[in-house]
């Protein structure tokens, strides 16, 4: 797909990711529903497939999951440059998108972490520090489950029955919950089921 990005669009994207960085309690992955709303539904800068494949590629690769954020920026840039065949122009915009989203998602949270851990270490017995840590615990758990749900729901192929998708995602959740199997085996099984057209 091809889109037009003005300079104020890039600025808005950067601002959105700076904001999401501060909202990404328990990891950038919990802002996936919000990113999907912003990039796909509201602005149409990414197709739904580009969005979910960015998350899936980053999950399949080694390293922190947050790299999916950079891939989304990369894809927004490619779309703005006329796609992967748009030549050097598209690649440069891709790298611009990558830099904007990665710096945006990391700068506020790492700065906050740097100063907050120093402060928190000195004040770890304080009532408000403990209230924040413990009060956020159930919210974080609910967020993680919701994120898993939104991610799984975005992967439904139009020509397969929805229960196939929920069976696969549910089975994966059960296996991870109850066993210590290496996650790579699960991702491999998912890839095989997907390639075979089951989901």
Restricting to residues 36-65, which ones interact with other proteins according to CB under 8 A? 37, 49, 52-65
Binds other proteins by CB under 8 A, chosen from 2, 11, 15, 23: 23
Range 92-151, binding other proteins (CB under 8 A): 98, 102, 105-106, 108-110, 112-114, 116-118, 120-121, 127-128, 130-151
Judged by beta carbon, residue 4 or residue 145, the one nearer other proteins is: 145
Give whole-number Cα distances, 142 to 63, 129, 169, in Å.
Answer: 25, 21, 17
Judged by beta carbon, residue 6 or residue 33, the one nearer other proteins is: 33
Contact indicator for 62, 87 with CB cutoff of 8 Å: no
Q: Phi first, then psi: what are they for 158, rounded to 5°?
A: -65, -25
CA distance 80 to 69: 17
Q: Decide: is 154 part of the binding site for other proteins (CB under 8 A).
A: yes
Minimum distance from CB of 5 to other proteins (Å)? 18
- Rounded to whole angstroms, the maximal C-alpha distance in the chain is 57
Q: Decide: is 4 part of the binding site for other proteins (CB under 8 A).
A: no
**Token couple for 74:** 């990369």
CA distance 38 to 196: 32
Minimum distance from CB of 10 to other proteins (Å)? 20
């Amino acid at each position: 797909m091809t889109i037009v990005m003005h300079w104020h669009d890039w600025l808005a994207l950067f601002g959105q990711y700076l904001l999401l960085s501060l909202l990404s309690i328990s990891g950038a992955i919990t802002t996936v529903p919000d990113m999907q709303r912003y990039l796909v539904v509201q602005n149409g800068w990414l197709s739904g497939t580009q969005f979910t494949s960015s998350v899936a590629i980053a999950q399949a690769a080694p390293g922190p999951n947050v790299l999916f954020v950079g891939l989304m920026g990369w894809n927004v840039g490619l779309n703005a440059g006329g796609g992967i065949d748009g030549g050097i122009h598209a690649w440069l915009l891709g790298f611009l998108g990558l830099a904007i989203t990665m710096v945006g998602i990391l700068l506020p949270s790492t700065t906050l972490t740097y100063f907050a851990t120093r402060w928190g270490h000195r004040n770890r017995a304080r009532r408000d520090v403990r209230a924040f840590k413990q009060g956020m615990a159930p919210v974080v758990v609910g967020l993680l489950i919701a994120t898993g749900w939104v991610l799984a729901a975005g992967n439904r192929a139009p020509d397969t029955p929805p229960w196939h998708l929920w069976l696969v995602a549910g089975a994966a959740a059960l296996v991870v919950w109850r066993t210590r199997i290496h996650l790579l085996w699960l991702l491999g099984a998912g890839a095989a089921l997907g390639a075979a057209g089951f989901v």
